[in-house]
Chains A and B, each alone.
Chain A
């Protein structure tokens, strides 16, 4: 693994988005001056992707404050406003909406903002869950070795032979079966997060295990062991920071995959409940009105999902190249 040196700049990379001034020679300046930040500044693809992702994530996070309407407040809806085409006044009420309205008269622009919020929430939480699970398993397997290692890696092998969307779907279905009907709706988002997270932990575990096996034989770990540090402390304080580089790359690409997985499950009608529509749910609704010519209900959520997934994917690709000097 050539990534032993790389994680240092990697952990500071997000700061480069905030356009720091070189006046203060603080960590901000060091971040701006690092290899990864330089690679970001000189890659137009990374800048465009980063900008797109940042815009969508910010707008989604601020949805309740910047959306013109609250699409899930029934009192603000008017059925007469339904099926308004984008940028055209409605035939009955004369109201104009940027991206039109859907069947129930909800502003498509607002539903997209709220939908992206849910998609991103599920995506981030699922990645976080997979990361914690995978890193823990990987650290233990790599550091301990022996039967723990063989067991975890055998489980990982078996899981890896199934596609992750299928695993997520099966876990979701099984978990739904075990939850009492009264809680199915309210628990759906968390079940979804756990299902997507569980379907994706293997990647982290494998990479962290590999890196840990390399790191644990280095002098600094031996030194820590000699002064009597607790194994948990060695793993968390000493080994973990040095294996984070590749983990960040997997997490970025994993975020794109998690967003797509969530959208797919919601599109299939087995994801988030209809009261909390994500981008996938919106596309599902849009597909129903495709034949009657209301294309905007489908197109705008689809474009948002595509832009988000593509931007995060490209960021992941760039990060992998930037953190791995061997590929250049």
Chain B
């Protein structure tokens, strides 16, 4: 770098000398003109070199980048104040490193609920860790543990970028945010704004299901000693060629019994031999942001094939072992509609009220003979606002009404930041 700067100075000196050398009163006008043209090209190239030097300097300073986000919440239950809760929801750090122009590394570390230990309820996780190779034509290859490109929230959940203290139910219970899998993903983007992504990744382990109110969250593996007998494929398309508009969707499919691995490791567990249990999830979404209005709509649906076979195995297991393992749904779905409008701005500050209605049912179709728990379906309306003292900081307040399970009605407060 230092050598180039010296070279630059000697070039400038040389140019000046050349100019003087060419300036006698009888100089040919055409010759002068061609010299000026050459000088101009050189100055452009110098500017180019200065640009690349500046970028190199910046690169040397910031090859490794740190970012993060965090949020704290307070929930006040209108019908049962003993459930009131204040929680440091998450503290997240991104650590990234650029090896060269093509190869970079990205990671996300998360601490949930402030304290993680054997006696505490907190969790510490590595949510993402992947290598990214950038081809020249805007194609990227990811290998490692990364987020699935489904919906809005799964890939964009920094507190200042979504509305409401709590993440919406559809993108928590149906799309299991924060959903990540390990494997390979290839993505690209066309000149007109059509982005696509597809890959082969680890899948779910339905033998792990521990929560009927969130079927996929209860069977995700998170690359934690993940069973890899059944890999899955996924694909996503998003059109963003019209500024302010996003239209997209995604599909995921993979078997989930993992070669009956849990039973083979421990025969005291349920025996799913001969069953595939293919889990398929698809979603469609659209977003329109213009003139301070932000509209979102999303529909997501999941299917578990062979849920009937698996639930019958679980039924026998529960009867003979006096446990109460939850049953898998055949189908589950949810949708949401949201509107937000920024009513006040001053400098970096803004106030944005919003309204959201959503429906979810994590047991919309159950195998014959298996009932659904009414607690696992509801229609929720949320009304609230975000106050941002800065685009990357937010204070939130909202009211949530659960039509069918009004014990869950609550008032929420939250704060969050991202950098």
Instruction: Note whether A and B form a binding pair.
Output: no
Interface of B with A (CB < 8 Å)? none
List residues of chain A with CB under 8 Å of any chain B CB: none
